[in-house]
Amino acid sequence: MQDLFTSFKDNCGFGLLASIDNKPTHKNLEDAITSLSRMMHRGAVAADGKSGDGSGLLLSMPKSFMEKEAEKQNIVLPKQYAVAMLFSRNDNDCNIFKAYCEQNDLKVIMTREVPVDTNALGEYALNSLPTIKQIFVAPNSIMAFDRFEAMVYLTRKETEVELKDVKGFYIPSFSTSVILYKGLVMPTHIKEFYKDLQDEDFKISFCLFHQRFSTNTLPEWKLAQPFRNIAHNGEINSIEANRFNVRVKIGAIKSEVFSDAELTRIADIIQDDMSDSASLDNFFEFLLVNKMDFFKAARSLLPAPWQNAPQMDPELRAFYEYKSGSFEPWDGPAAVSMTNGRYIGCVIDRNGLRPAKYIITTDNRLLISSEYGVLKIPTEDIVERGRLQSGEMMGLDLKDGRVLKNEQIDNYLKQDTQYNQWLNEKMVYLQEQVNTPVSTIDEIEKSELESKQRYFNITHEILDQVIEPMLKDGKEATGSMGDDTPLAAFSKKQRNFTDFFKQKFAQVTNPPIDPIREKVVMSLNTSFGELTNILEDDATHAQRLKVVSPILSKEKFDLLLEFGDTKNPKYEACYQAKSYGTTFTSNLETTLKDLVKTIITDVKESGIKIIILDDRAVNNQNKSIPMLMVVSHLNQELLANNQRHKVSIITVTGDVYDAHMAAVLLGFGATGIYPYLLYTTVATLARKKDANIDLTITLKKIRNALNAGLMKIMSKMGIATVASYRNAKLFDI
């Protein structure tokens, strides 16, 4: 049952409405509700006309309304306060929440039960309806505003951990600047359900609204959107990799906002049992509460396609390249609106697969939504209208009252010239360091080569049907017939370990990416080195060895080893490398556990940064642990020991001779692959035809074929960058 939550994805209608001058009005709320109700067709509805997938409104704090409600209880709200919106089934949940408030030097000043009209709900929503409360808190002692916000966040996270197994408990929002009204209610009935929204004193300056379309999940109150900072239309196809990589990043985090002890109390940044959109919201919120710049945080997680854009401003490109050392894209078709209370933004994915259209009106308001027509605006009242293009971002500075177009945001991101300086000083591009033609291989004697080929199952059929087409055309073989090969688990023949893993594909609502015609958004760029504190901009993030593909030539592999060899003049401690053999003679399980234990000890005590897993010692006496088994187990154990952020994993293996095999290794955590046996096999085939052949072009064709195959596999899942594919584990076993 737990596994059902790992694939939750949304494809919905979304939008935002804001007064550019940040002036709160009730009209803003009315128009936001109208806009939301006119996107009802973007969500499902049951026969009763009331049960749906969920909708919601993320609103600026309606201070005049809150003050009026406080007066009813003879309470005067202080200047500094936060409001928690709680879904719960019993009073004990609220008591636990209040106890954590007290523990974190917050005092509860008021509790109110949010008035609702259950006649607005369908049967399904009514059966799971929680009690909805608002709890007002303030600092219990003198506290800086940033510290207050940090304690608000910490209190919520601790409560979530304590009550994670309590069904029906959820905190939609707990903030000083926004409040969230959402649930399993149709957009046309949300005002009827939440009576607060009917009050003329409920005035807001902005609203993010969302109609959820539950593509492959059952509707739940907590899964309705918006979330605490974002509203998302689309799918994050790389979500498993993103969640894994957040856990990796935690190992290196040092915060100026939280102490190390408080970071431990936060536990997991990503909340369990939530959708892909919620996970993105969790991580974005964490970056914001740790005072990362709003636009830099947004563009770190949802970057423009910069890798194949030579026309991009060099300073802007430097920003994206620098951030790519710390963040992988949350990749997939997406239109995301977001806010931190001061800024509002909207980002379109790098492929432009989800629409976002905007209107600026004469009454100084900005409307962005999935489509035109959500609000009836006379033509004469429209100052400007347009749509965001692929990879673009639009924003609004509520404090200064300025609409920020994509070019203005780009200019802001690139104004810090230190990114270019750090890249020039610290980044090493291996391609620029290779002085010799890419034509060398591991020379292996004929008898040993044939023995290794038999071991790794490189049969005459593989040579003829898989490798020869790559050698001839520089691309994978194509065929028109179906594949009647038995599943590996039922095959009577020896099968490679990777044959037991079948590629998944995006099968819900995601339009497929064409990796050939849309190559400009695709990237196999790969870097090696330690991941340091993502909350701080410094030169260490630029200290990487970089290649254009995870499929390494012998020259690049040897060069990489030079940087990690303590005896080499090129040596740098941040790239210290060590090779580990993956062969065994008797007990596979014991050998694997001992190997992984040894590696982790070396990482902790000897400062190893690049792990080389090498199966070249395989022979008639030494068997090889399947490289995928080593990589995946090591990857998980490094994470469990809080060491994964320190290292890159490179495989030197005979177990890769097609794109699928490479993709599986990358999907389970390998950073780079040196397929030595494939290169030697190809060279042998080429030399049979021409003994004096220059292998430069031949080996380039093989790498081109593997690279094209990798991009094809990634594109089937709607993922455009290998950084987002690594650790995604997008395979059925």
Could you give all domains of the chain from N- to C-terminal order, each with its CATH number? 2-61+143-420 (3.60.20.10), 427-473+495-732 (3.20.20.70)
Q: How would residue 53 be classed by pLDDT, with cut points 50, 70 and 90? A: confident
Q: What is the pLDDT of residue 352?
A: 86
pLDDT in tens, 377-402: 999 999 999 999 999 999 999 999 99
Q: How would residue 100 be classed by pLDDT, with cut points 50, 70 and 90? A: very high
pLDDT at 133 over 80: yes
Mean pLDDT of 554-566: 93
Percent of the chain with pLDDT over 70: 97
The mean pLDDT of the chain is 92
Mean pLDDT of 559-578: 93
User: Which of 105-119, 318-332, 483-497, 665-679 bottoms out in mean pLDDT, i.e. has the lowest?
Assistant: 483-497
Q: What is the pLDDT of residue 515?
A: 87
Nearest to 334 by CA among 317, 346, 321, 319: 346
Cα distance between residue 74 and residue 485, in whole Å: 76
Mean pLDDT of 275-293: 95
CA separation (Å) from 249 to 157, 220, 269, 642, 669? 18, 30, 10, 9, 14
Per the CB < 8 A criterion, the answer to whether 359 and 317 are in contact is no
**Residue 674 CB partners (closer than 8 Å, separation 6+):** 552, 554, 557, 650, 651, 652, 653
Q: What is the pLDDT of residue 48?
A: 73
Cα distance between residue 223 and residue 228, in whole Å: 12
Measure CA of the first residue to CA of the last residue in the chain; give whole Å. Answer: 18
Q: How would residue 694 be classed by pLDDT, with cut points 50, 70 and 90? A: confident
Q: Give the tokens for residue 84.
A: 């928690």
pLDDT at 176 over 50: yes
pLDDT at 269 over 70: yes
Mean pLDDT of 301-320: 94
Per the CB < 8 A criterion, the answer to whether 348 and 334 are in contact is yes
Query: Of 12, 101, 207, 574, which is the active-site residue?
Result: 12
Query: Could you tell me how many residues make up the chain?
Result: 733
φ/ψ of 76, rounded to 5, equals -105, 120
Annotation says 12 is catalytic: yes
For CA atoms 265, 266, 271, 276, the dihedral sign is negative
pLDDT at 479 over 50: yes
Q: What is the pLDDT of residue 215?
A: 65
Mean pLDDT of 709-717: 93
Q: What is the pLDDT of residue 8?
A: 42
pLDDT at 9 over 70: no
User: Which of 8-12, 21-25, 218-222, 266-270 bottoms out in mean pLDDT, i.e. has the lowest?
Assistant: 8-12
| Structure-token match 């505003």, residue found | 145
| Structure-token match 């006496």, residue found | 621
Q: Who wins on pLDDT, 50 or 627?
A: 627
